[in-house]
Amino acid sequence: MNTVIKTFTLVALMATGVFAVESVTASKNGFTQSYSNLTSDEIDRHMLGKSFFRIPWVEAPSATTARDGLGPLFNANSCISCHPNNAQGSVYTKDGLISRSMVARLSIDANDSLQHQQYMQQQGFVPDEVYGGQLSINGVKDVPYEGKLKITYEEKPIQYPDGSVVYLRVPTYELIELNYGKLNANTSISVRKAPALIGLGWVDQISDEAILANEDVEDKNHDGISGKANRVYSFEKKGFAVGKYTYKASVPTVKNQIANAFHNDMSLTTKFHLKDNCTKTQKACLNAPKAYDAIDVPNNRLDAIDFYLKTLKIPVVESKNQEGKALFDALGCASCHIPSFKTNNKERVYIYSDFLLHDMGDALSDGRVEFDAQKSEWRTAPLWGINSLEKAIGKAVDYLHDGRARSLEEAILWHGGEALNAKNSFMHLTKKQRESLIEFLGEL
């Protein structure tokens, strides 16, 4: 009798994905704790996903056939190496080298050709012909890596009306040590830092309708802010879906993104990406030894990682900072960083994002289009888990898509485009008010 009830409960849970929002207090392990109400079967799945998220993959041929197939061209050998403690990467390592969690995405502007239009429909961008969609900084034996990223910062002073000055670091990106010839002059380099993996189970539970309800593409309410959802290709649906994940919201589901990560970052095949990421001209890459199995990461492992990432607690503390919160609302930050959503399970989660794209101005443009996301458009960054970031990565946090902001204050000062008014209002606050707002953000 007991077992029958237990099985029934499990089925009900799996069918609806009902878990209560569970949070942990800020700590080093803020991003790595599993839900406490998992059944023993669920714990097994969570642990399986966790192990595949953390293990280093190895190149073929290898005796370890269960986790071979890394490369030929790749960026890192495990998920965790770019998402340390499930939190975010940084620009530099502790030794001052450019971190591998800084990924350089490559693309060219689409023309009207059939080939380009097909790329736009399926991938949302047109890759560089020689180097593909992402620069690989590593290669297996006998396959030269593609190149390395070089970052140059220029310090630019910003003065508040009250006279105080903050310096922003303005990045210039270049590719060096290129092993497959010069980069096409028309190829744009979009640099992105690995984001923290927070509350993905909750984002999954936000319906398309709830996101679309906040769209205002024509800015009908004349607040200068025109949120737009990204409509992107879904491998699972084999059709279009609302994009929720990655910096330009160009990926519709967590599982889709896990498969993309395996493909782009490690060159491991899945049922969604059947081939390694070599381009046509990269002969050594195309001829490199293949892994033992036809598909490096079978579907049940993708599912396990998906389950793992969706059953992690959220590092949230309740902010008691009423003044900071009031300023956040008054300045219009909350127009894009919408404080909360009600999920499909009717739970309220505090995410501080609308999951829509906004034009953030030329200074933040990366020259790259992804489906409907234009060059200067970005998904509103969710503002949660900030309280635990520094503890989780053990050093100062770099903010914004490419980590150019060294503090929350710098991140705000980079806001432009649709967020220019909010930024200007922030600059006109008193020093004490600015500190209060930043303190509030730091507690989220």
**Cβ proximity to ligand HEC, 10 vs 330, nearer residue:** 330
**One of 67, 231, 273, 337 touching ligand HEC (CB under 6 A):** 337
Min separation Cβ 268 and ligand HEC, Å = 8
Stretch in the footprint of ligand HEC (CB under 6 A) among 25-33, 232-240, 256-264, 281-289: 256-264
Mask of contacts with ligand HEC, 91-130, x by CB under 6 A? ---------xx-x---------------------------
Peptide bond into 61 cis (omega under 30): yes
**Cβ proximity to ligand HEC, 231 vs 415, nearer residue:** 415
Query: At 140, which amino acid appears?
Result: V
Judged by CB under 6 A, how many residues of this single chain contact ligand HEC?
54
- Distance between the two ends of the chain, CA-based, in angstroms? 45
Calculate the dihedral angle through the C-alpha atoms of 22, 25, 29, 35, rounding to the nearest 10 degrees. Answer: -10
Residue 226 engages ligand HEC in binding (rule: CB under 6 A): no
Letter string b/e over residues 327-366, b meaning 16 or more CB atoms within 10 A of that residue's CB: bbeebbbebbbbbebebeeeeebbbbbbbbbbbbbeebbb
Min separation Cβ 371 and ligand HEC, Å = 12
Min separation Cβ 10 and ligand HEC, Å = 25
**Cβ proximity to ligand HEC, 39 vs 293, nearer residue:** 293
Which residues inside 272-301 make contact with ligand HEC, applying CB under 6 A?
A: none
Residue 418 engages ligand HEC in binding (rule: CB under 6 A): yes
Radius of gyration for the chain, computed over Cα atoms and rounded to the nearest angstrom: 22
Among the listed residues 254, 165, 166, the one whose alpha carbon sits nearest the alpha carbon of residue 204: 254
Calculate the dihedral angle through the C-alpha atoms of 337, 343, 346, 350, rounding to the nearest 10 degrees. Answer: -30
**Cβ proximity to ligand HEC, 12 vs 219, nearer residue:** 219
Residue 336 engages ligand HEC in binding (rule: CB under 6 A): yes
- As a residue count, the chain comes to 444
Q: Which class for 48: exposed (0-12), middle (13-18), buried (19 or more C-beta within 10 A)?
A: middle
Q: Are 434 and 426 in contact (CB under 8 A)?
A: yes
Residue 191 engages ligand HEC in binding (rule: CB under 6 A): no
Q: Are 92 and 102 in contact (CB under 8 A)?
A: no
**One of 256, 257, 277, 387 touching ligand HEC (CB under 6 A):** 257
Residue 341 engages ligand HEC in binding (rule: CB under 6 A): no
Residue 87 engages ligand HEC in binding (rule: CB under 6 A): no
Contacting residues for 356 by C-beta, under 8 A, at least 6 apart? 211, 214, 215, 227, 228, 229, 249, 336, 379, 380
CA 377 to chain centre: 15
**Residues at the interface with ligand HEC (CB under 6 A):** 53, 75-76, 79, 81-83, 100-101, 103, 192-195, 197, 200, 225, 245-247, 254, 257-258, 261-262, 265, 305, 328, 331-333, 335-337, 358, 360, 364, 378, 380-381, 383, 399-401, 408, 411-412, 415, 418-419, 422, 426, 437, 441
